[in-house]
Amino acid sequence: MNFQGLNLSAPILRAVTEHGYTTPTPIQQQTIPHLLAKRDIIGCAQTGTGKTAAFAIPILELLSVKKTHNRHIRSLIVTPTRELAIQIAENFKAYGKYLDIRHTAIYGGVPQGRQVSALKNGLDVLITTPGRFLDLLNQGFIDVSRVEIVVLDEADSMLDMGFIKDVKKILATLPARIQTLLFSATMPTEIRTFAKSILQNPVEVSVTPVSSTAKRVTQSVVFVEQHAKTDLLVKVLSDVTIKRSLVFTRTKHGADKLVKQLAKTGIDAAAIHGNKSQNARQKALLDFRNSDIRVLVATDIAARGIDIDELPHVVNYEIPNVPETYVHRIGRTGRAGAAGTAISFCDPTERADLKSIQKLIGFDVPVVSSYR
Ligand code: AMP
């Protein structure tokens, strides 16, 4: 199947083609026709599957086909992190290049002035994180009375981050009958129950079950004491064929500490996590993308939404205690079918977490007993 077969209008097809896409990804093939038919959707898909375009393209199509006189917010996209909000906005910009559909992203951590101006100038699509949305709504800058389509992106992540209450508050402000889409990388019971309470007769779409993604990535685990992990990381990174490495720590503090320790050994690294300013996060990402730094140290939440095409190497400096998180992390390397490498450092206190991960992915991660 190609994009031509999806009943999209010429300006969108042109933009999509110029963007270099020829074939819709499986989530796009499954989602776009139902979205165009105005159905509610519950989608199980991780980032990396093309899920953003799966909702951005048909939303642009629906909004451009049915024009309104005055500009007002007709679609609202709620996403957990600033990075994701920015990335979603980039998608709308790319596919909406030849349309008169205005969008903006609003998120916390930056002054509100520009966001307020954009809202005042009029918008068709608002992409937002929950906190800043409620803040600006309460200040009277946002009118959602004519929203037609709402997307809840990365619902599991919003649940993890404690945003579900805010999301419910947001939904309560919207008109009663609107088209609702919920996307989530995993489908824990809480998300299913929540989805049932808000979606009307939804179509269920799902791609690459979390465990099968893991099979594309070459994985290994090294058993190591906690105190020896930094030395081990320096050894791993001494391999000059590793052009870029994304290193995961569990905590923000741990990420900062590791960057400092690496700097002492001459390895330039940057950390991204929720305590960093928006500018610092964007700069770190840009430096990493441009290969000005080889190593990016990230916490899980900050790493959601990092979209770097050539990322062959991931290090789990600490083993995550939620097994699905492991798959998200290593999935950063195997994007768009590319093969990647993931190495995990497991100290004695993390053995149980490793076991749960192996149960989820359905195989034992090969153990490397010595690392030279
Ligand atoms: P996402 O899952 O939305 O984060 O998208 C993951 C990556 O896939 C992004 O870099 C997109 O630009 C890319 N992508 C999305 N749709 C397609 C497509 N149909 N063909 C090729 N690449 C795509």
Written as tens digits, the pLDDT of the chain (372 aa) is 889 999 999 999 999 999 888 899 999 999 999 999 999 999 998 777 889 999 999 999 999 988 777 899 999 999 999 989 999 999 999 999 999 999 999 999 999 999 999 999 999 999 999 999 999 999 999 999 999 999 999 998 888 788 889 999 999 999 998 999 999 988 888 899 999 999 999 999 988 655 566 667 889 999 999 999 999 999 999 988 888 999 999 999 999 999 999 999 999 999 988 778 878 888 998 899 888 999 999 988 777 667 676 778 999 999 998 887 888 888 777 655 556 899 999 999 999 999 999 988 888 999 998 665
Return the residue whose CA atom lies nearest to atom 12 of ligand 1.
50
Residues 115 and 27 both lie in one domain: yes
Is residue 370 situated within a structural domain? no
In Å, what is the CA distance from 354 to each residue of 23, 104, 171, 210, 238? 37, 41, 38, 16, 25
Structural domain includes residue 96: yes
Note whether 284 and 355 are same-domain residues. yes
Q: Residue 214: its pLDDT value, please?
A: 62
- The residue from 207, 231, 257 where one domain ends is 207
User: CB burial class (10 A; 0-12, 13-18, 19+) of residue 342?
Assistant: buried
Supply the pLDDT for residue 207: 84
Same domain, 197 and 238: no
Residues with CB under 6 A from ligand 1: 21, 23-25, 28, 47-53, 307, 336
Residues 203 and 162 in one domain: yes
- Which CATH number belongs to the domain containing residue 323 in this structure? 3.40.50.300
Mutate to test the pocket of ligand 1, among 3, 18, 25 (most ligand atoms within 8 A of CB): 25
Task: Answer yes or no: do 344 and 257 share one domain.
Answer: yes
Residue of 307, 308, 309, 310 to test ligand 1 pocket, by largest number of atoms within 8 Å of CB: 307
For ligand 1, pick from 21, 29, 51, 205 the residue to mutate: most ligand atoms within 8 Å of CB: 21
Same domain for 330 and 243, yes or no, is yes
Identify whether 197 is part of a domain: yes
Residue 86 belongs to some domain of the structure: yes
Domain range enclosing 199? 3-207
Cβ neighbours of 278 (radius 10 Å): 15
- Between the CA of residue 282 and those of 104, 120, 303, 331, 340, what are the distances in Å? 17, 26, 12, 21, 24
**Cα angle vertex 343, ends 337, 347, to 5°?**
150
Atom of ligand 1 nearest to the CA of 24: 19
Beta strands in the chain (DSSP E): 41-44, 75-78, 103-106, 125-128, 149-152, 179-184, 203-206, 217-223, 245-248, 269-272, 295-298, 313-316, 340-346
Number of the ligand 1 atom closest to the C-alpha atom of 23: 19
- 222 and 329 housed in the same domain: yes
Q: Is residue 156 part of a domain?
A: yes
The verdict on residue 230 lying in a domain is: yes
Question: Is 223 found in the same domain as 184?
Answer: no
- Report how far apart, in Å, the C-alpha atoms of 116 and of each of 156, 157, 279 are: 29, 27, 19
Q: Return the residue whose CA atom lies nearest to atom 17 of ligand 1.
A: 50
Specify whether 230 is located in the same domain as 268: yes
Domain boundary among 207, 237, 253: 207
**Which residue from 350, 298, 360, 293 is spatially nearest to 324, judged by alpha carbons?**
360
Task: Note whether 177 and 224 are same-domain residues.
Answer: no
Domain assignment present for residue 157? The answer is: yes
Provide the b/e sequence for 25-46 (b: ≥16 CB within 10 Å): bbbbbbbbebbbeebbbbbbbb
Q: 207, 238, 272: which is the final residue of a domain?
A: 207
Q: Which pLDDT does position 334 carry in this prediction?
A: 62
Domain count across the chain: 2
- Cα(5)–Cα(7) distance, integer angstroms: 6
**What pLDDT does 336 receive?**
54
188 and 243 inside one domain: no
Taking residue 56's Cβ as centre, other Cβ atoms within 10 Å add up to 26
CA of 157 to the centre of ligand 1 (A): 20
Other residues' Cβ atoms within 10 Å of the Cβ of residue 241: 6
Q: Are residues 189 and 69 in the same domain?
A: yes
